[in-house]
Amino acid sequence: MGPKTTKVYETLRQRLADGEYGGPGEKIPSERTLAEELAIGRTALRQVLARLVSEGALEVRGRSSYRVPGKVSVKPPEGLKPWRIHGERDLYDNRWVKLQLWDVEPPGVERFEHHVVKLHRVAVTAVVDDQDRVLMMWRYRFVPQRFGWELPGGIVDKGEEPADTALREVIEETGWRPKNLEHVVSYQPMVGMVDSPHEIFVAHGAEKVGEPTDLEEAGHIEWVPLADIPGLMARGELLGSGTLVALLHILATKGKQNVTAVH
């Protein structure tokens, strides 16, 4: 970073350290506001914000929604070294899945080849109404050969923002249009061998805009009471990690979190 960018970085970091932007979870001013106040271009500002996020001084949710990090007591250990990756080669590749062999070397261990499966980025959305019900689909999945409840979601197309995917998939699969979207977490469901980024969104409120257009994906659509979720989980009727993560987030934060619209 240049001198001006470095100065903006130091200014924002000090403000965060001093609590100028409030406590954990509070939203900081928008990119436009910060760029005007600090007399810096948006591109350079995003570099600063990205560095603050990488350092844990900021959290980002959705599309350019930056917040003061949530308060935690545990700290990551220091001095640990990552694995070295010496190379990778494709074994199989098509539009849906890529299988690779990576040449890796863990610290203090001889290097070896490890299988890696690469899948598409996915966006999953939990839409909750004012009656504490969540919009779900009863679907058959042929891999586990069973029916179960799922949230709407699908693959993020190339060049598409995950928030746009989330909105599109809810409409296509259910016929309901969410009134807003909040990005709550990005995670990897099978982090040991599979690269499959999942983006989880929560929406509060929706309007009926038509019938589902993706009939293969839709299945039976129903507004399921949140009070039923623990029982459905115990019966093994909630399919997919994205569904479980989104619903557990809602149950864990119910009544504690405001929604920040990103679309």
Query: What pLDDT score was predicted for residue 75?
Result: 82
- Considering only CA atoms, which of 95, 131, 124, 157 is closest in space to residue 239? 124
Name the DSSP letter for residue 1.
Answer: -
**Per CATH, which fold does 3-67 belong to?**
Arc Repressor Mutant, subunit A (1.10.10)
Query: What pLDDT score was predicted for residue 27?
Result: 86
In the chain, where are the structural domains located? Answer: 3-67, 84-118, 122-253
Query: What pLDDT score was predicted for residue 185?
Result: 84
Query: What pLDDT score was predicted for residue 74?
Result: 81
Single pTM value for the model: 0.74
Q: How far apart, in Å, are the Cα atoms of 215 and each of 70, 99, 137? A: 40, 30, 12
Query: Domain 122-253 belongs to what architecture?
Result: Alpha-Beta Complex (3.90)
Walking along the chain (263 residues) 10 residues at a time, the average pLDDT comes out as 85 89 85 91 86 81 73 82 95 96 96 96 96 95 93 93 93 93 88 94 93 76 96 94 95 61 40
Query: What pLDDT score was predicted for residue 113?
Result: 97
